[in-house]
Structure formats: structure tokens, C-alpha cells
Amino acid sequence: MKRVLITVCGRAGSKGFRNKNLKDFCGKPLVYYTLSAAEMFKCQRPDLTVDVCLNTDSPELIALVLKGYPEVEVIERPEELGGDTVPKMAVFQHSLRTMEERKGYAYDFHIDMDITSPLRQKQDLMQAVAMFESEPGLDLVMAAVPSRRNPFFNMGMKNAEGYACRIIENSNTARQQAPACYDVNASLYVFARSFLMSNASSDLWKGKVRFYEMFDTGILDIDSEEDYLLLESIASHLYASMPTFAAMQENIREV
């Protein structure tokens, strides 16, 4: 039986939106939406041994998670992994090493789901993992949505002199001429263990990578109070109109 580690990672505090990982979202703790997705995946894949762990330096987040999901393993994040510029892959690697030492076995692959990207459909994680499993040698599947702006057509930047210029030099005059581009969504990652543990640069693009395409609104994660209020409004509509989104909220445990 293959073994899978699911990580839920969150730092204490937040400069952009204070204590965002501790917020309620549409009446339920924000982190519970990610834990609901993990629990649903475990039920859908009884052929796998699935462990779920929380990696954090927040005592409040630990207490909140264990209140509703006491079976979740807790990894207390060391201070050197708590800074603003620490790559998240280093936290994934720390989680994997710690859990393998704790459990006494190696995992076959690793899944991470972000706390602040709560809008998932019940099939998203299953389909992303199926994509990963269907192609031997694949290093990473990560969630993405089609970009609303395209660097080969309608995205620009200021150059050193302050004038506007193209990000990528091209002669496209219509959106249809530009190659398809995607916005990476932190909602979920599926890593091959070997790729994750051997990646010293924390560069997601160094291996064989595929996008799992999510529903368009899934790209909006919560980095500010404005994001939070907007996403709550979007979520309320999706929960009322789309059963595949509502299922994730309905699966959250009552505490």
C-alpha cells in the first residue's frame, strides 16, 4: 500500500492580513476547509495510507486544528523556517523529514494544500493525484487557472527609465495569437518524493511539471482583508449554486 503525506502549513501572524490563518470563512474556521479536503481524499482513496500533518509556529492554530481534527499530526516549525522570505518548499521538506522519522517509513508522494485558498471542488484533489499517478516520472502537479492577462499580449512593465514596455518581446496584436498561459494557484501541489527531497534550490520548475486546471475563481487566495471579503462573497454564491463546492463546506466537522 502506498503512503501519502498531506501537509497543511501556516505561519503565526501575517503582515498583509493579521492572523488570517485563524479567521472564520463563511461561518467556519478557514483552516477546516483544507482539512475537509484532506479528510474527503482519505475516504475516497482507501487504497492509500494517508497521514495529515500541520506545520506551524502558531500555538493558536495548533489548538484550533486539534479541536476539530485531533488526529492531525503537529510539527512545530523551527524559527529558521518562520521568516517572510523562507521558500515554502523548505517547509515541505522539513515536514516530510520529520514525519518519516516519526512514523518510521518513507512516503511515496507528498501533497500540500494551502490554508488561504479554500475554494476547492470535491473532485480537485482526486483528479490532481490521478494526473500525477497516470504519468510515471512526473515530478510535480500543481493547481493553476488560465491567466486573465497574458505576458505575450496584454501585460507590461516599467523599464529602468520609467516608460512602459512589454514583459516579453513579441508582435502579437490579438489574444488568440498568444500562447496559453496559466496563473499558478497555491491551492494544491502533488510532489514526487524524490523531486521534493532532492530539490536544494526550491525551484518548482526544475522537474517535469504539469498543471491541474481548477475552476477560475480558485486562483484568488487570501492575502489581504479585501481578498477575504471578496472571496467570502464568491464562496457564498458557489456554495449555493454548485454542489461540488458545497460538498467541501458540508464535510467540515462541527465543533
Cell 514526487, located at residue: 192
CA torsion, ordered 197, 79, 3, 38, to nearest 10 deg? -120
Provide the residue ranges of all domains of the chain, joining segments of one domain with +.
3-146+181-250
> Distance (Å, rounded) from C-alpha 166 to C-alpha 232?
34
DSSP 123-141: THHHHHHHHHHHSTT--EE
What's residue 255's pLDDT?
85
How many Å apart are CA 21 and CA 11, to the nearest integer? 8
Give the whole-number percent of the chain exceeding pLDDT 90.
69
Lowest-confidence region among 2-6, 192-196, 201-205, 211-215? 201-205
pTM, full prediction: 0.92
Closest CA to 149 of 183, 187, 185: 183
pLDDT at 124: 97
Quick one: CATH architecture of 3-146+181-250?
Alpha-Beta Complex (3.90)
Biggest distance spanned by C-alpha atoms of the chain? 59
Residue with more model confidence, 185 or 5: 5
Which residues 6+ apart lie within 8 Å of 147 measured at CB?
Answer: 181, 182, 183
Check the CA dihedral 197-199-202-203 and report its sign.
negative
Residue type, 178: A
Which residue type, as a one-letter code, is found at position 235? A
Cell of 146: 488560465
Given a cut of 80, is residue 55 above it in pLDDT? yes
Per-residue confidence band for 217, with pLDDT thresholds at 50, 70 and 90: confident
For residue 178, the model assigns a pLDDT of 86
Determine the angle formed by the axes of helices 59-68 and 30-44, rounding to 10 degrees: 50
State how far the Cα of 88 lies from the Cα of 238, in Å rounded to an integer.
29
Q: What is the pLDDT of residue 128?
A: 98
